[in-house]
């Protein structure tokens, strides 16, 4: 039983309205750089540090945009989401700020830092088995019983509009750096961030082009943008838990086909090296799924247009042990 | 043979002039927070993330202020500094930006990340043995030969004025948060940052009071502020390399006696725990010497005035292995 969805295409007007609702509640994250990273990449590298966002990832933006768009009646009933962690924290934090109930259907093997943080934000957690359970069916049952509104992680126009606020900030920040032509590398799971940023840049900084970045073997968006027929990704990779999606979103893919690409895919080893480089030179903790764009910028220079490159470091919610493993990765 | 020094007391007018010279060259670093840290500290904790400053620490501010105050003739000859690392990087970066020669006298056992970064910034490195050599004598010989200007790490009014720009930013940022009464915990070695921030807050936000924080056993400033006679610190601690100084500065101590204190001292174990907490909840890499203030805020609540606490995370230049050790510290 599929849950009813809002299937409107996201628009720039929705982005602007979402940005107005977000104002004062989310951080305008800094645009950072380091001569050492520039030297590795052999070009200027500008890093939008969304790992410094409240809840540790950009996901709060989309969740806040969606929650704040609900009717008073829907707010009174509350929201539900499924997520491996960052969207969960975003929905939990946004719901709590709006005085709403939040239920999160979360994989039982999600990073502990994400489950603990989501619980600390007051959400009710429903664990499920990633391999055997149907998270949508679990959510549908709870929705039928309690009348909660489902906040989808990316296939929701308000969520995409909220993530687009990253692009609105980037357009202004890059203008003040004098950069009006560049590729913007964006970590991509379902494509909500990439699509939202692409919409924002198309409207406000059309010389900046989004290129989605995925883990090797999970580059369903890159393949779709290249016109290849869909086939399932191979078995799960444990590393980039935040951006492992089986296929591009129904609302995000048309935006990306119109405004973004080509896609890039990076090896897990390069993602770990990028995490170590970000710690050493930017003093940032970036999670694997948030580091794929930096990995592409640092270690795939030949695949990029000449000139400065902008990357989004989309989240920082990584368990200590995995982060220590990244720090220990050989160059 | 002591090197001639500028012994003028730093003033707010010097701070404002330094801030004007720094504008556009240093980052206004963000003021970050996390509900998880607030829960540990049982109060609101606001973190000024100077680890995100260019060169990875606040030291660029003072170095830039000093270098930019030199006469054209002095600029043509260049500058020299002694430093375990962060001041070295600051002086090297500021000198390079001004097209000047920079010579750095640096302990042979300084963290590799700091020596490598200083060399990458174009400085000439002169290693010395921390236990047996006299760094001031080494510098004096080079100064006599080449006519370089010594940029002291803290006992220089221009350096203190430059570090004070952190306080000017804090005054504005805390005003916009609605905070006009709070303690501001500042990592303290020679006291340049603490004195500069104290001068700035006294002038612009007099309800905010600096409290210097040092490693246990190296709390010479706390003891001086408590009116105790000077006695040497015990043997070197390897952890907080950035803030191990034998005694308070001649220019900084009078400022701190007038405007700051009482001092705080934290155990190395708590500093490591604070580094782990900053990585988990703020997504920041903070070096040990930069984490002592956060450690005091998190783990010494009884020593602080009630209400919100502001801390400066002064630097992030830590070797991978030591950072991994901090991540592995038990709570």
pLDDT (tens digit per residue) in B158-174: 999 999 999 999 999 99
Residue A2: predicted pLDDT = 66
**pLDDT tens sequence across A301-330:** 999 999 999 999 999 999 999 999 999 987
Query: Under 8 Å CB-to-CB from B321, ≥6 apart: which residues?
Result: none
Kindly tell me the burial class for residue A185, based on how many C-beta atoms sit within 10 Å of its own C-beta (0-12, 13-18, 19 or more).
buried
- The SS3 call for residue B223 is helix
Output A232 or A71, whichever has higher pLDDT.
A71
Neighboring chain B residues of A97 at a CB cutoff of 8 Å: none
Nearest CA in chain B to A176: B24
Mean pLDDT computed over B223-236: 80
Domain A12-58+157-327 classification at class level:
alpha beta
Question: Whole-model pTM?
Answer: 0.94
Per CB-CB distance under 8 Å, the chain B contacts of A316 are 283
| C-alpha–C-alpha distance, residues B87 and B110, integer Å | 12
Our CA-based measurement puts residue B198 at a distance from the nearest CA of chain A, in whole angstroms, of 26
pLDDT in tens, B56-106: 999 999 999 999 999 999 999 999 999 878 999 999 999 999 999 999 999
Question: Which position has the higher pLDDT, A112 or A155?
Answer: A155
Q: Which residue has the tokens 């004098």?
A: A178
For the ranges A43-52, A119-128, B49-58, which has the lowest average pLDDT? A119-128
Tens-digit pLDDT profile for residues B102-149: 999 998 988 887 888 899 899 999 999 988 999 889 999 999 999 999
Choose the catalytic residue: B90, B290, B314, B315.
B314
Least Cα distance to B282 among B266, B269, B298 occurs for B298
Task: Look at B285 and A283 and tell me if their CB atoms are within 8 Å.
Answer: yes
Strands A182-187 and A149-150: unpaired
Beta-bridge partner residues of B126: B105
> Active site includes A34?
no
Rounded to the nearest angstrom, the minimum Cα separation between B193 and chain A is 20
What average pLDDT does the segment A162-178 reach?
97
pLDDT at residue number A238? 67
Catalytic residue status for B176: no
Question: Quick one: which of A251, A255, A261, A293 has its CA closest to A274?
Answer: A293
Going by C-alpha positions, the residue among A36, A90, A318 that lies closest to residue B283 is A318
CA distance A282 to A294: 11
Place of tokens 């940052």: B193
pLDDT above 80: residue A244: no
Query: Where residue A113 falls among pLDDT bands split at 50, 70, 90?
Result: confident
Instruction: Name every residue whose Cβ is closer than 8 Å to that of residue B216 and which is 6 or more positions away in sequence.
Output: B265, B266, B267, B268
Does the distance separating the beta carbons of A285 and B279 come in below 8 Å? yes
Same fold for the pair A12-58+157-327 and A60-150 = yes
- Interface predicted TM-score of the whole assembly (ipTM), two decimals: 0.93
Computed over every residue of chain A, the mean pLDDT equals 93
pLDDT at A245: 78
Contact criterion met (CB < 8 Å) for A283 and B279: no
Local confidence band at A231 (pLDDT 50, 70, 90 cut-offs): confident
Check pLDDT > 60 for residue A236.
Answer: no
- On whether the CB atoms of residues B62 and B196 are closer than 8 A, the answer is yes
More confident position, A244 or B264:
B264
Res A186: pLDDT: 98
Distance from C-alpha of A92 to C-alpha of A81, rounded to nearest angstrom: 9
The 10s digit of each residue's pLDDT in B194-217 is 999 999 999 999 999 999 999 998
pLDDT for position A234: 64
CB atoms closer than 10 angstroms to residue B73: 9
| Contact assignment for B32 to A39 by CB distance below 8 Å | no
Which residue has better confidence, A266 or A5?
A266
Chain A residue with the nearest C-alpha to that of B329: A320
* Local structure of residue A179 (DSSP, 8 states): -
Active site residue A33: no
Cβ count within 10 A of residue B231: 9
**CATH architecture designation of domain B60-150:** 3-Layer(aba) Sandwich (3.40)
Q: Is the pLDDT of residue A1 over 60?
A: no
**Could you read off the pLDDT of B270-322 as tens digits, one per residue?**
999 999 999 999 999 999 999 999 999 999 999 999 999 999 999 999 999 99
d(CA A143, CA B101): 68
Helices (H), A220-284: 220-225, 252-259, 268-281
Where exactly are the structural domains of chain A?
12-58+157-327, 60-150
């Amino acid at each position: 039983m599929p849950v009813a969805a809002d299937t409107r295409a996201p628009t720039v007007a929705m982005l602007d309205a979402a940005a107005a609702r977000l104002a004062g509640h989310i951080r305008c994250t800094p645009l950072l750089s380091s001569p050492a990273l520039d030297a590795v990449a052999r070009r200027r590298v500008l890093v939008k540090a969304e790992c410094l966002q409240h809840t540790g990832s950009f996901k709060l933006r989309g969740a806040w945009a969606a929650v704040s768009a609900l009717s008073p009646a829907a707010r009174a009933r509350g929201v539900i989401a499924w997520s491996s962690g960052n969207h969960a924290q975003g929905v939990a934090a946004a719901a709590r700020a709006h005085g709403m109930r939040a239920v999160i259907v979360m994989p039982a093997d999600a990073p502990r830092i994400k489950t603990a943080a989501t619980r600390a934000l007051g959400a009710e957690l429903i664990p499920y088995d990633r391999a055997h359970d149907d998270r949508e069916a679990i959510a549908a049952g709870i929705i039928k019983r309690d009348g909660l509104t489902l906040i989808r992680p990316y296939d929701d126009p308000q969520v995409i509009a909220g993530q687009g606020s990253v692009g609105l900030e980037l357009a202004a920040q890059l203008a003040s750096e004098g950069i009006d032509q560049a590729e913007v590398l964006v970590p991509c799971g379902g494509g909500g961030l990439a699509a939202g940023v692409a919409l924002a840049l198309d409207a406000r900084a059309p010389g900046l082009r989004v290129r989605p970045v995925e883990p090797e073997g999970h580059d369903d968006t890159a393949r779709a943008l290249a016109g290849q027929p869909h086939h399932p990704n191979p078995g799960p990779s444990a590393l980039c838990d935040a951006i492992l999606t089986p296929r591009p979103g129904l609302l995000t893919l048309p935006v990306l086909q119109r405004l973004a690409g080509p896609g890039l895919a990076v090896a897990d080893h390069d993602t770990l090296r990028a995490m170590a480089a970000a710690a050493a030179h930017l003093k940032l903790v970036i999670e694997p799924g948030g580091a794929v764009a930096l990995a592409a910028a640092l270690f795939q220079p030949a695949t990029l247009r000449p000139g400065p490159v902008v990357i989004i470091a989309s989240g920082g919610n990584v368990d200590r042990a995995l982060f220590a493993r990244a720090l220990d990765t050989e160059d």
